[in-house]
Amino acid sequence: MINCIKCEFIKIRRKMYWLYVICFMVANILISNVLATQVAENGTALEEISSTGELSYTLDVNNFYMYGLPFLIIIFLAMYFHLESENAGWKMIKISGESIGKALLSKVIVTVGFVLYIFLCQIVVMLGYAEINDISLIESWVVGDLGLSLLGTLLNSLIIFLLFYLIDSVVINIVLGIVGLVVNNLLVQAEVGKYICTTYYFRILMATRTEKIQMACVCAVGIVILLGIILLGRIKHE
């Protein structure tokens, strides 16, 4: 099992997926700073925003959860499964006598690791904003909310994982992912349902304690169910 996980990590390391995350983070910081500066220069009054640095931070976090996080996961998983199909990976696994279920579990572990890496990069960015712009981030930082956002992201990642695994077409997967991203954003703005878009950090911040507990339970149960479905899905390639 350890060898399977190592092989999967080597695959994504060679494709430099980690670099895409850093490039997005840098681009998001620059764009957020430019937009915040333009708003400040135009003298636009914004409630509850006390400085350009705080506005830049708010834009950065909003862009990350609304666009960056889902887009990075969509691109990663679409290319990840395309890489397996392109190199006849499923056939090689079958020929070598390895279990497809074990290979899928390794891919799930790598996907979880990639999601954690994205979150870690964003946390570094947020702490950087707090240090440079003297934002009292620690006071508003609720670890439970960030953990719930991560839990929701893992649930959505597994849904995408299962969908892309079954379709196995990089073009269709990316198109479906982009459509899902648009729908996701519309649902967030419309505030439809308690459990929709639990990855969106600002929605979690505004939720009540009871709603947060309900979200966590729904996400946890969903993750367990999806893991079972994914592992049973190995029949497709056997």
Three-state secondary structure string covering 132-152? HCCCCHHHHCCHHHHHHHHHH
Cα-Cα-Cα-Cα torsion 100, 102, 105, 106, nearest 10 degrees, comes to -100
Q: Which segments in the chain show pLDDT lower than 70?
A: 1, 43-50, 86-100, 134-142, 181, 184-205, 233-238
What pLDDT is recorded for position 235? 47
**11 and 83 in contact (C-beta within 8 Å)?**
yes
Angle (nearest 5°) at CA 132 between 127 and 137: 40
Name the residue type at position 187: L
**229 and 161 in contact (C-beta within 8 Å)?**
no
Digit-coded pLDDT (tens) for 173-221: 788 877 776 776 666 555 555 444 455 555 666 777 787 787 788 888 8
Domain extent, residue 200, equals: 2-237
* Domain total in the chain: 1
What pLDDT is recorded for position 195? 46
